[in-house]
Amino acid sequence: MLNIPPFDVSQQYQQIGSAIDHAVLEVLASGQYIGGSNVAKFESEFAHYIGTEFAIACNSGTDALYLALRALSIEAGDEVITTPFTFFSSAEVISMVGATPVFVDIEADGFNLDLNQVEQAITPRTRAILPVYLFGRPLDLTRLTAIAQKHNLDVIEDCAQSTGATWEGKKTGSFGAAGCFSFYPTKNLGGCGDGGMVTTNDASIATQVKILREHGSPKRYYHEQIGINSRLDAIQAAILLAKLPYLDKWNIARTEISDRYTQYLSGIEGIVTPSHLSGSVWNQYTIRLTGFDRDRVQARLKEQGVNTVIYYPLPLHLQSVYQDLGYPQGSFPRSETVSLEVLSLPMFPELTETQQEDVVRALKNSLT
């Protein structure tokens, strides 16, 4: 029987394991496990890769979002516009700083924030827009930037799934006041544990993030604000430094895999393949099953040895914790509909063409 995982994190280690081993052993021998030269070098190289002046490492993508909101002084009484069709942390961090998440439905032909609906959600309390580049696909950042500038709003980019993605030749994470990245192992640039980064061209934001990630302390043992402990471990920085030179190559492989999936699946009634966009880095390849019971199809795939993931089964406005926001079922019909249809097929740079053919064959068998 087949045994195809949704993502195989061991494959990259098999490719460059010696370089990772060497980097990790150097850190262990150095005795510098928190901060130090590896973290500083990774921040510098990542900023250069994204095309920003500053990059500040932290311990997760969630913390990156939280620190960016804090650095922009977004607080109780403020509103931040975002999508209900995303991982929970995109809205969670807005609530954590005391602000209110304001949801806008997703676009008709994709999974990102519908820019046609953003302006009508803006109120005098709106401080920022937080777009999520879901599954590695950017949205129209030219238009988003124009909307934000028109209303004097900050843009905080959730780039957790879009490391290396571009819009008109410029990388995501370099458009807004801050870009927020995750290095969770399954991301396009993934570590061997948690990790995150805030990118910005604003020196004051960079300084604030650095202070806040160190317990609100600009100088050790002297605290000016209530911050958090959010440092990137030196071992993770060393691993990510070893992987960063391969990121573009891996993203190209993801694009080739997505192209093949689309070729194999096009024309099958009841399957909607994701629209292709130049600049996407395909963290996931997510189809919609419009004429079938999605959960039954997923179960039948698993029986055949093909493992898939549902991102995401319940939109944020319908989560129990957000019932007080007052969004009843039916508020965001596109998000609610796709949450019942989406299925993410196996996607990682090392997925072979033979494995893809097996996935597609199993999928077709699961539709009957």
Report the SS3 class of residue 250.
Answer: helix
Pair 227, 212: CB distance under 8 Å: yes
Q: Are 49 and 193 contained in the same domain?
A: yes
pLDDT value of position 83: 98
Provide the residue count of the chain. 368
Q: What pairs with residue 180 in β-bridges? A: 158, 198
Q: Are 215 and 126 contained in the same domain?
A: yes
In a domain, 260, yes or no: yes
pLDDT value of position 26: 96
pTM, to two decimals: 0.97
Pair 55, 199: CB distance under 8 Å: yes
Q: Are 188 and 58 contained in the same domain?
A: yes
Q: Are 148 and 223 contained in the same domain?
A: yes
- Tally of structural domains, the chain: 2
Distance CA 368, CA 365 (A): 6
Host domain of residue 222: 10-104+111-245
Q: Are 15 and 136 contained in the same domain?
A: yes
In a domain, 235, yes or no: yes
Question: The tokens of 156 are what?
Answer: 């905080």
Report the SS3 class of residue 200.
Answer: strand
pLDDT value of position 247: 98
CATH number, position 279: 3.90.1150.10
CATH number, position 213: 3.40.640.10
Backbone dihedral region for residue 290 (phi beyond 0: left; psi -120 to 50: alpha; all else: beta):
alpha
Tell whether the torsion through CA atoms of 247, 252, 253 and 254 is positive or negative.
positive
User: What averages of pLDDT result for each successive group of 10 residues across the chain (368 residues)?
Assistant: 95 95 97 96 98 98 98 98 98 98 96 98 98 97 98 98 98 98 98 98 98 96 97 98 98 98 95 95 98 96 98 98 98 98 98 98 96
Distance CA 100, CA 123 (A): 12
Placement of tokens 């317990």 in the chain: 215
Distance CA 175, CA 145 (A): 8
pLDDT value of position 1: 84
pLDDT value of position 146: 98
Q: Are 233 and 260 contained in the same domain?
A: no
Q: Are 258 and 291 contained in the same domain?
A: yes
pLDDT value of position 291: 87
Q: Are 239 and 158 contained in the same domain?
A: yes
pLDDT value of position 90: 98
Residue ending a domain, among 213, 245, 277, is 245
